[in-house]
Structure 1
């Protein structure tokens, strides 16, 4: 993922935001803020083999600047609404897992709204486990929302 993909990445992100069950964010950031927040070695896009259209993206962020957490990242994965159900999300997660394990990262985590059952199922198929529910974590449009905390521990790192 790089600046060439910026418009499509942010459009897919905004589509997820607009659906209401992807993030607490209300508007996608500009590219410079988005780019600065993601780890450069752990962000990927999926492109359509036929026309090169961007189908989805995955990106990781550090959970902490403390060195003891260097092997723990949080990630987001977004798939274009028209590309869902075609294995794009799984391909992106598998690619992220391979890149993080190659870099010595032992834990990949995410927080997902319980109502986002498709994302929870995708993550379960990719080896993530539910840690628990963070109740009333924050408000979205004036409504308190829970999130499900998931993690995937590497079987080859650590």
Structure 2
């Protein structure tokens, strides 16, 4: 992922936000805020033959405390027209490979239980459910649960 992809990355993020079952966010951040919050070595885009962004994946630190240096939270978003073609799986596999190569031992995420496609993707790529956070926050005027997922590396540790 590079700055040249920024407009498409942010547009895909906003589309996911608008669908209502991807995140508690209500508006995509500016590129500057997005860029500042994601680790540079673990950002990926999937491109079509014309260089259009089909989807993206990135990670953020969960804490600045040294003890959590090997734990990150990730996001994966795919353009609606590219879903069902293995884009999310390829992005998540690339993300797992890069984080393991960097010594990161846990990749985690929170997913709305209604987002069954994301839950299935994570299960296929080695994530496990570690809990459900019930009524963790309000989203568009209603309480929402999230499913907390993690993937612990077999290669790091």
Give the CA deviation at 1:3. Answer: 1.0
| RMSD between superposed Cα atoms in Å | 0.5
Aligned to 1:23: 23
Detail structure 1 runs of 4+ shifted over 2 Å in the superposition: none
CA distance in 1, matches of 2:57, 2:156: 21
Give the CA deviation at 1:141. Answer: 1.0
CA distance in 1, matches of 2:93, 2:156: 15
SS of aligned partner of 1:94: helix
Does residue 152 in structure 1 map to residue 154 in structure 2?
A: no
| Count of aligned positions | 157
Give the CA deviation at 1:53. Answer: 1.2
CA distance in 2, matches of 1:136, 1:152: 23
Give TM-score scaled by structure 2 length.
0.99
Give the CA deviation at 1:59. Answer: 0.4
Aligned to 2:37: 37
Give TM-score scaled by structure 1 length.
0.98
SS of aligned partner of 1:156: coil
SS of aligned partner of 2:90: helix
Give the CA deviation at 1:88. Answer: 0.2
Deviations 1:46-103 (A, max 9, x none): 101x222110000000000000000000000000000000000000000000000000
SS of aligned partner of 2:8: helix
